[in-house]
Homo-oligomer: A and B are copies of this chain.
Amino acid sequence: MATQHLDPTDPMAGPVTADALAAYLRAQATEFLRALRAQRDTGDGGPPARGKSRVGENGSEESADAALALRRSARRISGTLHTYRPLLDTDWSEGMRPELAWLSGTLAREHAYAARLDRLVTALNRLSGASPFPGRSPGAAASAGDATKGNLTVGAAKAGALLERQLTLARTRAHSAALQALGSSRFHAVADSVAVLASEVPLTPAADKADLRPLARAAYERLCDAVSGLPLVAAGHPYNAEALIHGLSPDPAPHPQDAPWHQVRLLLRLHRYAHEVLLGKDAPVDVRLLAAGQALNRHRDASEAAAAAASAARTPRIAPATAYALGVLHADQRHEVEASRFVFQQSWQKEAVSTR
C-alpha cells in the first residue's frame, strides 16, 4: 500500500484496496478489546461520591481512561462500517452499528456531565473575577466542590451549588447506567462481535477488487455539502450576536440553530476516520482539520453547558440572584458557541484553500 497520494480528494492518487479496511478494523477491534480488559482490571464498581470529583483519583482515572479508549475505538469501528458499508457484509454491519452507538453513547454520558460541570464552574469563577486556584495545573479539571468555595458572590455561589447538585446527580445516574451496561448481555454480544472482528473482517466478495478512495471521497463530499449549508459568512464576522438570538425564547429545547453545526461535527469525524483507513495507523495529523474539529467540540460543549444553565434556572423556588447568575452564565456560554463558530470558519477557510 502506497503511503502517499492518499488524499481522497486527490485525483492523481492510486487505489487503496480493501486490505487497508480490514487492517484498520482489526486494529480498532484489538484496541477495543485491550480497553475492555483495562476497564475490567480497574475494578471500579462504586458510583462517584456526591459532590466529589472523581477526576484525579487514581483508580477512577484509569477507569475513565479505559472508558475513553473503549469509546474511541467503538466510534472508529462504527464510522468505518458506515463509510465503507458497500464493502462489508450488510446484515452484520447494519446490526452492529446501533449497538456500538448505544455503547459509546452510554459510556460518554458520565464524562460529559463531569466535563459540563467543570466548564460551568470554571466560567462562574471567571465571571466572578476569582483568581485561578493556586497549585492546580491549567489542564486539570477543577473540582466543583472546591471551586464553589472560591471567590464567588452569593448568586454565583448558589448557581454553582445548584448546577453541582443537578449535574452530579445526572453523573451518578450515568455512572450506574454505564456499569449496568458493561455487565449486560447486550454489551457481551457487542464485545463478542468485536472479538470476531479482531480476527476476521466480513468483507463482501466484491471488496476484493474495490478501491476505498471513492467511498472516502464521498464522505468528504458529505462533509463539504453540510459545511456549505452553514452560515459561514455571518460566523466569520466577529461579534455577530447570532448565537444568543432566541436566548430568551420560551423553547426549552437546545437551540435549533446549533443542529447543523453538530451535524458537521459528526461528518468531520467520519471524514477523519475514513482518512485514517486510507493512510493507516501512522497517518499524519492534519492540523487545520484538527483545529476545525476542536472548534466544533467546543461548540457542542458550550451549547450543552448553556442549555444546562437555562435548565437549572427553571428549578422552582430559586432565589432571583441565583437566576440572574444563571442568565449571565447562559449568555456567556452562548457567546462561547458563537466564538467556536468563528474559529471553525477561520480553520475551514484555511482548509479549503490548502486541500483544493
Contacts and interface: CB of A to CB of B under 8 A. Distances in A.
Copy count, this protein chain = 2
Nearest to A326: B324
A129 B335 CA distance: 16
Contacts of A250: 153-154
A324 B250 CA distance: 13
Contacts of A336: 239
A297 B319 CA distance: 35
B127 A248 contact: yes
Contact of A342 (B124, B126, B239): B239
A126 to B, nearest CB: 6
A129 B323 contact: no
A330 interface: yes
Contact of A324 (B238, B249, B324, B332): B324
A331 interface: yes
Given A322-B320, A331-B331, A249 B129 contact: yes
A327 interface: yes
A235 to B, nearest CB: 11
Interface string A282-323: 000000000000000000000000000000010000111111
Interface string A339-351: 1001000000000
A127 B330 CA distance: 12
Given A155-B248, A245-B126, A250-B153, A239 B335 contact: yes
A344 to B, nearest CB: 12
Interface string A236-248: 0011010011111
Interface string A256-281: 00000000000000000000000000
14 contacts: A128-B249, A153-B248, A154-B250, A155-B248, A239-B336, A239-B342, A244-B335, A248-B328, A320-B323, A321-B323, A325-B327, A328-B328, A331-B335, A335-B335
Given A127-B244, A156-B248, A331-B335, 11 more contacts: A126-B241, A128-B246, A238-B339, A239-B239, A239-B335, A313-B324, A318-B320, A323-B324, A324-B324, A326-B327, A328-B330
